[in-house]
Structure 1
Amino acid sequence: MILTVTPNPSLDRTYEIPSLGRGGVLRATGDRVDPGGKGVNVSRAVAAAGIRTTAVLPLGGAPGALLAELLGAQGVDVTAVSIAGQTRSNISLAEPDGTLTKINAPGPELAPEESALLLETVRTHDGSPAWIACCGSLPRGLRPEWYAELVTRAHEAGARIALDTSGPALLAALPNRPDVIKPNVHELATAVGRPLATLGDVVDAARELRALGAGAVLASLGADGQLLISAEGDRYGTAPAPAAEIRSNVGAGDASLAGFLIAGGAGPESLASALAHGAAAVRLPGSAMPTPADLRPDAVRVTRDLPLDLPLTEPAAVRSV
């Protein structure tokens, strides 16, 4: 069983449009509403693979009730922490060439007692999860150290931790030794405070985060595939999957993390599963998660021999957070 924690979940409405023009009337060619939030998407992808999963969520108002209903329909068990504020709603505009414009609402502010209850709910969950995936941005009211405390409590409960967040929250959690972290290349550049232009730069940055306390580092490199520095320090890379029609990249990184954990969360087999799930997700509309029938594992190649001087297709700059 894989448990996920999403401190700032959402309802995600995606509109498919011919093109985006400011100031005009845009007529959508399709639309859908999905449960949103990084950990929520991980649970959806795990459930789509036929594996039991529970999503721990702070939920409030009618949007929170609808989110729980949609997750239940997709086979995700929900453990809700009731909050006074309303769950946020986000909007995505998807164009045919894969360009995505997102409007993310800030979400509710959690009161101190709501924050404490969310932590305690994870610690006392009785499902004996093999992994706890802690994912996404922190809502207002939660300090950057909140994930660090969650990592400690989850370890005390005997679970392994996969952490997918960025900025101060990521750096604050590293000394508490999350078992896997999953930055994208831009988040990795921000974490080490310098641009990343080559695969070797990414490897060096990942090893710096391991020195700060991370176990394994699973880094998404966009069009360049993915890189894994294992808990033992071994390096594995994936060649980019063959080009495919991109309908939406919303949730593709979350599907990738789900694929990694589904396959055990360690080693080259898990890395191959991560890339296969991420590549399948971009071919689907909105934030739909792939099923086993959507995967193309034969198109994935994992290697230990990618040259370190290989330039990144899109060099990663440091971003303000």
Structure 2
Amino acid sequence: MIVTLTPNPSIDRAIVIDALLRGEVHRATSSRIDPGGKGVNVSRALAAQGTATIAVLPSGGPEGHLMDELLDTAGVARRSVPVAGSLRMNISVLEPDGTTTKLNEPGPQLSPAEVDALLTATLDAADGASWVVACGSLPPGAPTTFYADLVTRVRERGIRVAVDSSGAPMPLAVAARPNLIKPNHEELAELVGHDLPTLGDVRAAARDLVADGIEVVAVSLGSDGALLVTADEAVHAGAAITAPLSTVGAGDCMLAGLLHGLSTGMRPADALATAVTWGSAAVTLPGSRVPTPSDLVGIHAEVTHSPDPSLVLR
């Protein structure tokens, strides 16, 4: 069972238009609403593939009620922590070529008691879990040490923990030594403090993090696939997608596939192939919809243990 923590979840509204023109009135060709936030998306993807998961998240205001209803409809088990503020609603504007423009609200201000309640709910849900994964941005009111504190307390219980975040909380979380981190290309560059223009640069940065005590570094690279680095190997995987619809949540589905693979005993290379398959399938779906088993059909991840270090990343 995999527990996800999303301290700043959202209702994700995806609006499809022909072309985005600043300052103009647009008529949508379609729209959809999904429960969102990185950890919520991970749990949704796991549940859609039949993997046991519990999503821990705050819930408040009308958007909180809607979130609960959407997760129930999706069959995602949850531990909702009541908060005084309303959850945020994020807007994604999608164009036919797959271009995605996102407008993200900051989220509710959490009190110290609400922050503590989120941490306690996560630790309670983690009893018997194979992984705990902490994902996304922190809401106003949460200290930048929140993820680092969670990593320390989860690891004290002998449970594996993963972190997928960015900004100020991420280096603090990394210093607490989670078992796994999953930055994207830009987030990894931010974490190490310099640009990473080639696949070789990404591999070197990931190896440095592994040398510092992170067991698994998995880097999502968008259309360039993904790279997984451990103390024993560096593996690259990619899948060709000819008709992308939306990139929203694709990295979260990749993380879900990776954790699914690792929790079921797959070798890291096979888990990465599963991760890329799930993430690539998500790109073919509208909005932040997560793939079901039927959506994976026809998607093949190419895996190599000898990635080209000179590849310039897009």
Fold match (TM-score > 0.5): yes
Secondary structure of the equivalent of 1:197? Answer: coil
- Are 2:252 and 1:254 equivalent residues in the alignment? yes
Alpha-carbon distance in structure 2 between the residues aligned to 1:264 and 1:12: 28
The secondary structure found in structure 2 opposite 1:263 is helix
Matched, 1:175 2:180: no
- Between 1:201-210 and 1:4-13, the stretch displaced more is 201-210
Instruction: Tell me the distance in 2 between the aligned counterparts of 1:284 and 1:120.
Output: 35
| Aligned residue in 2 for 1:303 | 304
After alignment, is 251-260 or 200-209 more displaced?
200-209
Q: Equivalent residue for 1:92?
A: 92
Counterpart for residue 11 of structure 2: 11
Q: CA deviation at 1:197?
A: 1.3
SS at match of 1:261: helix
Give the deviation of 1:127 after TM superposition.
Answer: 4.9
Q: Which 5+ residue runs of structure 1 have no aligned equivalent?
A: 315-321
SS at match of 2:75: coil
Give secondary structure in 2 for the equivalent of 1:186: helix
Per-residue CA deviation, residues 179-229 of structure 1 (Å, 9 max, x unaligned), is 110000111111111111111100111122223332210001112111000
**Partner Cα distance (2:289, 2:70) in 1:** 12
Question: Are 1:195 and 2:179 matched, yes or no?
Answer: no
Identical amino acids, percent of aligned pairs = 50
Letter in 1 for 2:257: G
**Aligned alpha-carbon RMSD (Å):** 1.4
Residue deviations 1:146-187 (CA, integer Å, cap 9, x gap): 100011121233321111011221100112211110000111
Corresponding residue pairs, total: 311
Give me the whole-angstrom Cα distance separating, in 1, the residues matched to 2:116 and 2:151: 14
1:270 aligned partner: 271
**Deviations 1:251-304 (Å, cap 9, x if unpaired)?**
000000001111125510100001000110000000000011111476211111
- Is the CA contact 1:272–1:297 (under 8 Å) kept in the aligned structure 2? no
Say if 1:181 and 1:218, in contact at 8 Å, map to a contact too. Answer: yes
What are the equivalent positions in structure 2 for 1:112-131 lying under 5 Å apart?
112-125=112-125, 127-131=127-131
CA contact (8 A) 1:10 1:88 kept: yes
Name the counterpart of 1:244. Answer: 242
- The equivalent of 1:317 in structure 2 is none
- The Cα of 1:244 is off from its aligned counterpart by 1.8
How far did residue 126 of structure 1 move?
6.0
Quote the Cα distance in structure 2 between the aligned partners of 1:127 and 1:70: 25
Q: Which runs of 5+ in 2 are unaligned?
A: none
TM-score of the two chains, using structure 2 as the length reference: 0.96
* AA partner of residue 273 (structure 1): T
Residue in 2 aligned with 1:235?
A: 234
Asked if the contact 1:176/1:213 (under 8 Å) is kept, the reply is: no
SS at match of 1:299: coil
Letter in 2 for 1:269: D
Equivalent AA in structure 1 for residue 236 of structure 2? G
